[in-house]
Amino acid sequence: MSHRQPLNLLPEAEQQLRLDRMRRLMADASLPAILVTDLANIYYITGRVYTGYIYLPSEGKPIYFVRRPVELEGDGVVYIRKPEQMTESIGLNLPEAVGLELDLLPYNSAMRLSSALGGIATPNASPVLRAARAVKTAMEQDALRMSGVKQEHVYRLIPKLYREGMRDIELQVEIERALRLEGCLGQFRISGDSMELYMANILTGRNADNPTPYDFAMGGAGLDPSLPVGADGEIIKDHTTVMVDANGNFTGYMTDMTRTFSLGTIEELAVKAHDTSVAICRAIAEAARPGAEAKSLWKIAETMAADAGLAEYFMGHTQKAGFVGHGVGIEINELPVIAPRSRDIIAEGNVIAVEPKFVIPKVGAVGIENTYIVGHDSTECITRAPESLTPLV
């Protein structure tokens, strides 16, 4: 049986859009060519994940160097076993410099590639790739919309999944199952290797205030010190909240959505903080227009939290997160970043997860997170589950 398949799974015009965009950014950065090897970037350029490289010159067609899987075919496909074969097998006419993903490539891999390229200059191509991916094409936006619809379906089921006396992790397992049955791919792609999570982060009661080592917006002690984040196995108690921030990767593109549920009556301070979160999302969505400074969006959130007398609880209590929003797409930590010292400028086609959250000691975490597509003169919310604090029973 043959497994021959076209390497490039993107429609030709779609790939051209992405290549053109990358090439404009390469020109701005004076990069005559780049060599791509990160799996998320390979997926961006071809619509599939393979191991190997993509050589993209400023002019001419890309060359796809493939290590695995076997039997991919198409224009520019060259099978290799080791990077040294790139120059040996096709006699690449290399320019004076080839950009590499130096923010991601392990040091020794970068050195080996540089040597395989004959020791020419290998400046950093990571910013070009990050900038290209920050502005989503119409096709990418559609993939994100589809993820949002499916994620919303699952979020609407959550109250039905709760049973009295459940531990936080038990509810999480039922949510994970519902996500998977809805088609969630289960892969939670994160650029770099300093964040680890795979399906969901559920926080209830006092566990919400446990600090974690990771750069996620919220914490939790986790079940084990080998993975100190999220649910810690406690029973969900009356008068606490349950914040659910669960995997929205149904299409290779992830939406990011958080909703908060409640058990019994909830302290007024927490209700107020939740409503403030919803209001901050609205305000940021209103202000997130092309040309706006990302840091000005952070300022809106910070000011609204302070004006509501909630500064102490905003983005964490014992430990605070340093951002209130982030780009999302193939990976969970894309550009732009909405943070106090961000230098990012909002652009049409950005897809931004906005997550103004509060931690109220003993009660739990409250607030919501929505994913928005930035349009020319409006933003579109693509995570549309009900935003109010929702009773579990």
Find the shortest distance in angstroms from Cβ 96 to its own copies. Answer: 20
- CA separation for the pair 178, 198 (Å, rounded): 15
**Using the rule CB under 8 A, which residue among 24, 153, 156, 206 binds its own copies?**
206
Instruction: Give min distance, CB of 93 to its own copies, in A.
Output: 25
Candidate list 61, 198, 343, 378; residue touching its own copies; CB under 8 A: 198
User: Count residues contacting its own copies (CB under 8 A)?
Assistant: 70
- Which of 118, 192, 264, 391 is in the footprint of its own copies by CB under 8 A? 192
Cα–Cα distance measured from residue 133 to residue 127, given in angstroms and rounded to the nearest whole number: 10
Residues 6 or more apart in contact with residue 144 via CB below 8 angstroms? 136, 251, 253, 254, 255, 328, 329, 351, 371, 373, 382
Helix axis angle for 12-28 and 126-134, nearest 10°, is 130
By CB under 8 A, tell whether 290 contacts its own copies.
no
- The Cα 90–Cα 69 span in angstroms is 20
Choice from 251, 258, 277, 333 touching its own copies (CB under 8 A)? 251
| Under rule CB under 8 A, residue 211 binds its own copies | yes
CA distance 214 to 227: 10
Residue type at 250 in one-letter notation: F
The answer to whether 79 touches 69, Cβ cutoff 8 Å, is no
Range in contact with its own copies (rule: CB under 8 A) among 151-159, 217-225, 306-314, 365-373: 217-225
In whole angstroms, the minimum distance from the beta carbon of 151 to its own copies comes to 15
Residue 194 interacting with its own copies (CB under 8 A): yes
Q: How far is the CB of 131 from its own copies (least distance, A)?
A: 16
- Within residues 297-356, the interface with its own copies by CB under 8 A covers 318-319, 330
Question: Which residue is it, tokens 């997170």?
Answer: 369
For residues 147 to 176, the per-residue mask of contacts with its own copies, x marking binding by CB under 8 A and - elsewhere, is ----------------------xx-xxx-x
What is the spatial distance between Cα 338 and Cα 292, in angstroms, rounded to a whole number? Answer: 11
Please state the length of the chain. 393
- Beta pairing class for 334-338 and 357-360: unpaired
Answer for which of 228, 325, 327, 329 binds its own copies (CB under 8 A) is 228
Q: Which string of x and - marks every residue 37-66 that binds its own copies (by CB under 8 A)?
A: -xx---x---xxxxx---------------
- Binding piece for its own copies, criterion CB under 8 A, among 1-9, 56-64, 238-246, 293-301: 1-9
Q: Residue 308: name the closest of 282, 284, 273 by CA.
A: 273
CB of 137 to its own copies, least distance (A): 16
* 263 touches 240 (CB < 8 A): yes
Q: How far is the CB of 304 from its own copies (least distance, A)?
A: 25
Which H or E element spans position 262? strand 258-263
Q: Is 223 in the site for its own copies (CB under 8 A)?
A: yes
User: Taking the CA atoms of the chain, what radius of gyration do you get in angstroms?
Assistant: 22
Among 120, 181, 235, 311, binds its own copies (CB under 8 A): 181
Q: Which residues pair with 345 in a beta bridge?
A: 293
Closest CA to 359 of 391, 314, 311: 314
Site for its own copies in 8-27 (CB under 8 A): 9
Among 91, 93, 108, 376, binds its own copies (CB under 8 A): 108
Nearer to its own copies by Cβ, of 171 and 288: the residue is 171
Q: Which stretch binds its own copies (CB under 8 A): 96-104, 297-305, 337-345, 368-376?
A: 96-104
Output the six-digit token pair for 1: 């049986």
CB atoms within 10 A of CB 344: 21
The reply on whether position 212 binds its own copies by CB under 8 A is: yes
Q: Which of 357, 356, 339, 327 is nearest to 299 (CA)?
A: 339
Verify binding: residue 102, its own copies, rule CB under 8 A: yes
The one-letter amino acid code at 122 reads: T
Give the footprint of its own copies on this chain (CB under 8 A).
Answer: 1, 3, 9, 38-39, 43, 47-51, 67-71, 100, 102-108, 110-111, 124, 126, 169-170, 172-174, 176-177, 180-181, 183, 185-189, 192-194, 196, 198-199, 206, 209-215, 219, 223-228, 251-252, 318-319, 330, 361
